[in-house]
Amino acid sequence: MRAESGLRRFARAGDDRRVFWAVSFDGGALLGRGGLDNLPGMMASSWSVSRGVFLGKKFLCFAVLAGVLAGVRPVAAQPELLDGVAAIVNGYVITYSEVREFVQPALLQLRRDYSGEELRERVRAAQLDALQSLIDRRLIIDEYHTKGYRLPDNIVDTQIDEIIATEFNNDRVAFIKTLQAENITLSQYRDRLRERLIVQAMRNHKLQQQIVISPYRIEKYYQEHLDDFKVGDQIKLRMIFIRRGAPPAAGEGEPVAPDPQRRLAEEILTKLREGDSFESLARLYSQGREAQQGGDWGWIGRNVLAQPLDQAAFALQPGQHSDIIETRDGYYILFVEAFKPAHTKPLAEVRAEIEQTLLQQERARVQEEWVKNLRERAYIRLF
């Protein structure tokens, strides 16, 4: 909602008092103000009696709370108290409900992970982050309008069509019903989507400038983060897995017959000892996910496999295969193709990775500097 010129002063918090103002939806006059503690009585007397405009109009009552983002809620018993002002940005009002809606997905996760005072602290931090994001979004949208840019309507329409196709299986009726269930009109949804597209386009536009990472910065980062590039012992592993079978039924007093799958594993082991290719036997007999790749697990470090397999694998020399390793789920035969001792990855191996990390950092810095400049040129008031 765009605040008119007279609204710039409608919310003022004096001293430690929590102050509210009421403004008519249709642009009518300022109705009154008072401490929130006096809200019930004022609504019943001074406004409803002496302010005749109160009862006959739909209005929005903004609760301006000094601690609105610290978890203080409007008086729930008064249905007229619909929302609270969290901030004003260049005359645009950001309401508490917008902050609440923006932060809601994060709150669901926080409530699953935390409780008590820690939850309250994290909720306050998430609300402040959400408010800052909404402020930055409004600044970017204002910059878009200031620059005279224009987003064609067909781009928004195309995006909506894609959402209906991918998320609603091309069912437009289901899409509309979902909006209705969330009390959102199609027009409101279009406006929100347009704003998201504008912010995305403006951010991407700022990143079009070429960013070059010098070799010196890459080498400096490498030297300062050597621990990040250290790796432990590694082996190049192949594996044959035979799933444990159901043992044949035995009569009373008879010994339990051996698992036929165990016999298959023993036959495979015999073939390996006779010189057959581990890769070929894995393709032919293994029941593991890597069977079609010849049982290839690639390079792995310690503690990737279950303990019995890990110990057996790292005890092998390159070119050796293990005996049968029996576990609850089946029978394993391991083969180590190569071994690499613990080492620090050389710069040549990680140069591209470091460059990408530095590029991301530089893009983030460019974005933050841009938004910081927008903040410095804007009128921002927090409540």
3-state secondary structure (DSSP) of residue 274: coil
Residue 273: its pLDDT value, please?
A: 96
Question: Which tens digit of pLDDT belongs to each residue from 137-180?
Answer: 999 999 999 999 999 989 999 999 999 999 999 999 999 999 99
3-state secondary structure (DSSP) of residue 276: coil
Question: Which tens digit of pLDDT belongs to each residue from 314-344?
Answer: 999 999 999 999 999 999 999 999 999 999 9
Domains of the chain: 5-114 (no CATH), 153-206 (no CATH), 233-249+256-341 (3.10.50.40)
The tokens for 186 are 């199609």
Question: Which tens digit of pLDDT belongs to each residue from 51-63?
Answer: 222 222 223 333 3
What band does 249 get if pLDDT is binned at 50, 70 and 90?
A: low
What band does 251 get if pLDDT is binned at 50, 70 and 90?
A: low
CA gap 221, 350 in Å, rounded: 11
**Longest C-alpha distance within the chain, in Å?**
104
Region 199-204 average pLDDT: 92
What band does 136 get if pLDDT is binned at 50, 70 and 90?
A: very high
* Phi, psi of 167, deg, nearest 5: -100, -15
152 Ramachandran zone, left/alpha/beta (phi>0; psi -120 to 50): beta
CA gap 146, 151 in Å, rounded: 14
Residue 263: its pLDDT value, please?
A: 92
